[in-house]
């Protein structure tokens, strides 16, 4: 089932869910929807267990979590992320567990492999109709809808050619979202020229120096760089800083995962980023990325306030919150 068919049709959620495909942004949203439908917020933490691919190489721990009884809820949910990075033996052990999920539990496998791709056979293909399969692979129709939804959320519009260009591009949807968020800050109607200028623009190197310093644990340097940029561009500093931070963290998140690879346009940075990624780790990189994105959204939507001092305070808070990222 394609991602948006899952959103629109709200199919029953049974014992096994496989989130497959290649777009992490859609996979994250699919997981949020599954959790919202299965577990009310007030009992979620009591009935949710999460495992990384590395943790799930011992399938007994996943099986044990599935056997636990729900507490004040109809079911328990167990999530195993990034199973596409697991070796054959570990995948086989996890698949055996997946075929014996007990009544009252739901196992969610995030297996970001194309259902029609070469390489390891995806869990979705193995499960066939015995699982709810959510395919996050994004064709033109899916990409166009994602762009339109993002624009609505940001209170912006765009020329039809902008939507068409982004729908036909090869950029991952996280990058598409970031570009639209930056443009929507100053443009309520985005033109093709705006998009082209954004894609060709060279960001202020100070923003990337800030992100690199924070990722490396040099918090005082990061704050000094951020304050310097605010002094130069008080009304146009927060978005570049947080965008650079989001970009840095998603690269670290990818490299921290077993078998992770950077997109082609960022591979030249791998020798510098990989040792940082080992220190930061997958979980902290993901948390930092999500915090930076929430900060961007707060500014774009006005929740953070329009005053430069308020935006600077937001950047300072995020910087301090993430100060132990690589320690």
The confidence score (pLDDT) of residue 100 equals 94
Question: pLDDT (tens digit, 9 = 90+) per residue, 22-62?
Answer: 888 899 999 999 999 999 999 999 999 999 888 998 999 99
Contacts of 249 (CB under 8 A, 6+ apart): 211, 215, 285, 286, 288, 289, 292
Mean pLDDT of 162-173: 86
Highest mean pLDDT among 89-98, 115-124, 193-202: 89-98
**Rama region for 155: left / alpha / beta (φ>0; ψ in -120 to 50; rest):** left
The confidence score (pLDDT) of residue 313 equals 94
Within 10 angstroms of residue 128's Cβ, the number of other Cβ atoms is 8
Q: In whole numbers, what is the pLDDT of the chain averaged over residues? A: 88
User: Exposed, middle or buried by CB within 10 Å (0-12, 13-18, 19+), for 148?
Assistant: middle
Has residue 117 got a pLDDT over 80? no
Helix (H), strand (E) at residue 125:
helix 123-127
User: Which of 37-51, 78-92, 246-260, 309-323 has the weakest average pLDDT?
Assistant: 246-260
Q: Where do the H-state alpha helices sit in 257-324?
A: 270-280, 282-300, 308-321
The confidence score (pLDDT) of residue 283 equals 86
Cα 162 to Cα 3: distance, rounded to the nearest angstrom: 22
Has residue 211 got a pLDDT over 50? yes
Helix (H), strand (E) at residue 108:
strand 105-111
User: Exposed, middle or buried by CB within 10 Å (0-12, 13-18, 19+), for 118?
Assistant: exposed
Looking at the chain, the whole-number percentage of residues with pLDDT higher than 90 is 50
User: 201 vs 17, which has greater pLDDT?
Assistant: 17
The confidence score (pLDDT) of residue 195 equals 81
Helix (H), strand (E) at residue 135:
strand 132-135
Mean pLDDT of 173-191: 83
Question: pLDDT (tens digit, 9 = 90+) per residue, 242-296?
Answer: 988 988 898 898 888 877 777 666 677 788 888 888 888 888 898 999 899 889 8
The confidence score (pLDDT) of residue 204 equals 58
Has residue 199 got a pLDDT over 80? no
Predicted model pTM = 0.68
The confidence score (pLDDT) of residue 202 equals 47
Question: pLDDT (tens digit, 9 = 90+) per residue, 287-299?
Answer: 999 899 889 888 8
């Amino acid at each position: 089932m394609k991602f948006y068919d899952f959103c629109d049709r709200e199919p029953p959620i049974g014992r096994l869910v496989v989130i497959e495909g290649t777009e992490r942004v859609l996979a994250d949203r699919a997981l949020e929807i599954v959790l919202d439908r299965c577990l009310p917020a007030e009992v979620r933490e009591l009935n949710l267990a999460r495992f990384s691919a590395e943790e799930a190489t011992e399938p007994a721990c996943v099986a044990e979590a599935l056997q636990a009884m729900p507490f004040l809820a109809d079911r328990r949910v167990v999530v195993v992320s990034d199973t596409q990075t697991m070796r054959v033996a570990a995948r086989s052990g996890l698949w055996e567990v997946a075929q014996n999920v007990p009544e009252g539990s739901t196992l969610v496998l995030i297996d970001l492999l194309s259902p029609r791709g070469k390489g390891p056979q995806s869990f979705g293909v193995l499960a066939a109709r015995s699982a709810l399969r959510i395919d996050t692979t994004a064709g033109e129709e899916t990409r166009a809808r994602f762009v339109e939804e993002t624009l609505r959320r940001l209170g912006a519009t765009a020329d039809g050619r902008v939507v068409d260009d982004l729908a036909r591009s090869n950029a991952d949807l996280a990058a598409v979202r970031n570009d639209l968020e930056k443009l929507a800050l100053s443009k309520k109607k985005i033109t093709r020229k705006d998009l082209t200028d954004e894609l060709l623009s060279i960001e202020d190197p100070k923003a990337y120096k800030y992100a690199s310093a924070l990722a490396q644990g040099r918090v005082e340097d990061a704050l000094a760089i951020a304050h310097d940029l605010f002094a130069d561009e008080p009304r146009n500093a927060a978005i570049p800083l947080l965008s650079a931070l989001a970009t840095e963290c998603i690269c670290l998140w990818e490299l921290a995962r077993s078998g992770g690879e950077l997109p082609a346009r960022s591979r030249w940075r791998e020798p510098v980023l990989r040792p940082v990624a080992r220190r930061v780790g997958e979980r902290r990189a993901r948390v930092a990325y999500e915090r930076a994105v929430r900060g961007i959204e707060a500014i774009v939507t006005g929740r953070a306030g329009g005053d430069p001092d308020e935006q600077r305070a937001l950047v300072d808070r995020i910087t301090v919150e993430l100060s132990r990222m690589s320690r």
